[in-house]
Amino acid sequence: MVRRPHWLANAAALMGAATLVLASGPMVGRAAAQQPRDRLVVTPEWLATHLHDPNLVLLHVGQRDDYEAEHIPGARYIDMHSIAAPEDHDAGTGLSLQMPEPGAAVDTLESLGISDDSRIVVYYGTNWVTPAARILYTLDWIGLGDRTSLLDGGMQQWKTQGHPTTAEPTPPATPGTMMPRVRRDLIVTAEWVRDHLHDDRVRIIDARAPVYYDGIQPTYLHRAPVRKGHIAGAANVPYTAIADDALRIKSAEELAAIFQKAGVQRGDTVVGYCHLGQQATLMLFGARTLGIPIKLYDGSFQEWGSRNELPVELPGGEQ
């Protein structure tokens, strides 16, 4: 008998629980506490109700010019590179978009008014859903994951449902105070991935578009292409599969079917990668809403594809 993954069997329950409302602090109700999606995704209605909560920090992701022209009242602008490691590509070998030193990240987050007791909501102003997902992952890594959510559908859904936007500057934040509780288990190295290629409880998933996964087009590293193909044995769940055309996170049932098709079974840990470690965070966010354990290979294919000793696979076999 084929055993269904526990997160697939619970998909209907996840969908039903998704209508429950989050409190501004700890979640209310035993059922809500059992469903990761209810904590990770909030609706425009929820945000409208809690927009003026004293501990709410609302973060806008997108082009700064767009933010200055229009944003949700009270939102503060954040650039994902402001909470990433500095990049130095003068030698042509540095990796893009790596996790920062914790102290540097804390300084940036505190400047936005974030403290240990803040309730944080991240949203994308236009279609910047993967930068928003990268910021969410970084906040989880720094220890704020249990207090951080994504606004489903971003600012467009906020506007579609008749809620206001403004061009008025948000007053400067009172600096916050927080203590980093870094979850180093959320990030893995190339060596870790290599050592777990044949681990039955680890499912490595490539979040790039199929044209890159299949080796039709290469990933580029600072304008120079690396090898074509994907990490040997990796499955493909393109990041575009996680949200619908309105950039709302798909239902629990839809996501469960996607991960089941990729071979994720009960008890597996999903390890995601992409070009740089950005697109994969949206795929991992989808897994996280189902309660699937996740890790990010932050070096992603920019690193793996440039190291000839690491195995790469094409549809016809290994390179």
Q: Are 100 and 93 in contact (CB under 8 A)?
A: no
Three-class SS state of 112: coil
pLDDT tens by residue, 20-38: 222 233 333 344 445 899 9
d(CA 132, CA 121): 10
Tokens of 166: 């403004």
Q: Cα 174 to chain center, whole Å?
A: 27
Hunting for tokens 């004293």 — which residue is that? 54
Mean pLDDT of the chain: 89
CB of 197 closer than 8 Å to CB of 311: yes
Say what the pLDDT of residue 242 is.
98
Instruction: Output the pLDDT for position 93.
Output: 56
Burial 116-131 (b: 16+ CB within 10 A, else e): eebbbbbbbbeebbbb
Which pLDDT tens digits describe the chain residue by residue (319 residues)?
A: 333 444 444 444 433 333 222 223 333 334 444 589 999 999 999 999 999 999 999 999 999 999 999 999 999 999 999 999 998 766 555 789 999 999 999 999 999 999 999 999 999 999 999 999 999 999 999 999 999 999 999 999 999 999 999 999 999 999 999 999 999 999 999 999 999 999 999 999 999 999 999 999 999 877 788 999 999 999 999 999 999 999 999 999 999 999 999 999 999 999 999 999 999 999 999 999 999 999 999 999 999 999 999 999 998 665 6
CB-CB neighbours of 42 under 10 Å = 21
Over residues 138-185, the pLDDT tens digits come to 999 999 999 999 999 999 999 999 999 999 999 999 999 999 999 999
pTM over 0.95: no
Model pLDDT, residue 318: 58
Residue linked to tokens 């039903």: 16
Q: What is the domain partition of the chain in residue ranges?
A: 6-160, 184-318
* Percent of residues, the chain, with pLDDT higher than 90: 82
**CATH of span 184-318:** 3.40.250.10
Is-same-fold flag (6-160; 184-318)? yes
Does 2.40.128.50 match the CATH number of domain 6-160? no
- How confident is the model at residue 94, as a pLDDT? 76
